[in-house]
Amino acid sequence: YGPPSAQKAAYGIPEDLTAAAPSNLQLVWGPGTFGYLPSDLEEFYATYNVTGATTADVRPFGFRGTVGGDNFMEATLDVTYISSMAPHADTVVANTNSSASTEETFGFGYALLAFSHLLANAGLSSSASSSSSSSASIIPLPTVVSMSLGSLSYDSCHLICSTVANDTSNAYDYSDCEAYMSTQRQVCMYDSGSVVDRINAEFLKAASRGVTLLAATGDGGSHFSFGAFPTNDAMGQALNAASCAYALPTFPAESPYVLGVGGEQWNQDDGTITPEAPIYWAAGGAGFSRRFEMPDYQRDAVDAYLTSPSTTLPPASSFDPTMRAYPDVVALALGIPLIVNGTQYTTGGTSASAPSFAGVVSLLNAIRLRGALPPLGFLNPRLYAAAGSWGGAESMFYDITYGNSSCGGDGYNCGNGFVATSGWDAVTGWGSPRWEGLVTFLTDDSLPTMTVV
């Protein structure tokens, strides 16, 4: 059970710490029905005794969303946890495209492309009127952006559709697979590699301007976006067989310019919850990109994982070990309380992990900004250097050494996946946050410098 106070206690974050600092702006984004009710936040802060959080620090940007929509619940989860983990940071809930086409399939990819372009170009702005499907206003550039929405990458979807189409044991062609995928919610939301490349280029620009980008890695282990395809029809069965043969990355988490946030849960021995001894959350997205080469900043950590005698890997044919690996970190993904439209829920997934970890980054940025240092910006190179060659891993993260990525969020087990081990691994990254170590290694610029690649 992980309300903000319990998560802060687990990570060692002082309950009364705030993220108040000049220009410390954190943002969550989504299209379609993405939005929130201030009354839900007020009720949540009061019910769960969130110290310092107030709706006065939260504002919408663009469209307000639609109560009852799936993305509305997502937005409420995102803003609830980022604002609760980092109270008094200026917090923006951005919806830059309200079209229904952006919520489930290819329209999402183009909405993310448009948002990434706005983000990379000195403030979120649009000349379109507020009555159209695009937003019309300008806000300052954020220091932290959390993205919980995404899907299997274009390359993942292309691979499994090609596999099904080339399988002579069925009569399906590629277009049959594409048509079927369009009926699956938030599974394949990019219609070309070009769209993904263009988004990634904008992410690089934003990161170079001081924005820390974080994304949920998905809730399908290393094989799915959420869970298995329907098992009661032939196409779903064919896609499950194809998916289980490969490690299938999600985007935007696979981007080398994004901090990919996976999931953990808290160990329970004899009914006692021990958050300081976390274990993996079985459905957290994990693996290796099929588009982006491994960045230099993570090469040593990933090579150590791949070559360790204690590492168990899926079949060599299922992934490319020369590509970008993720997750980078994890946060709690199970037993997450939430209030939406006045109703209390318990939810979870990496959609909860990403905004919580984003709030931790905002707290770190507040320390830096109050000390006249720039925000962390493109965090990945420094985080890997600090945890690796600087020797900070043990003090920065709770290392998770148990778990694997073979299952989807529905429990469907492919029988193969990556396995957690000591140090960085392709199931839980470096692990879950430990506050004192993060402060030591990420708020002091007198520590060693590194080359950002």
Binding region for Ca(2+): 399-400, 423, 425
Would you call 74 a catalytic residue per the annotation?
Answer: yes
The rounded distance, in Å, linking the Cα atoms of 383 and 377 is: 11
Q: CA-CA distances (angstroms) from residue 7 to 19, 84, 169, 276, 434?
A: 16, 10, 49, 10, 11
Report which of 379, 117, 396 is spatially closest to residue 258, judged by C-alpha positions. 379
User: Which residues lie below 8 Å from residue 440, measured CB to CB, with a gap of 6+?
Assistant: 392, 395, 396
The annotated binding site is made up of 399-400, 423, 425
Residue of 243, 255, 289, 351 marked catalytic: 351
Residue of 78, 90, 219, 328 marked catalytic: 78
Dihedral of CA atoms 323, 109, 195, 26 in degrees, nearest 10, equals -70
Would you call 410 a catalytic residue per the annotation?
Answer: no
CA atoms lying within 13 Å on the CB side of residue 152: 30
C-beta separation of 31 from 104 below 8 A: no
User: Which residues lie below 8 Å from residue 179, measured CB to CB, with a gap of 6+?
Assistant: none
Would you call 208 a catalytic residue per the annotation?
Answer: no
Q: Positive or negative CA dihedral for 86, 87, 88, 90?
A: positive
Active site residues: 74, 78, 351
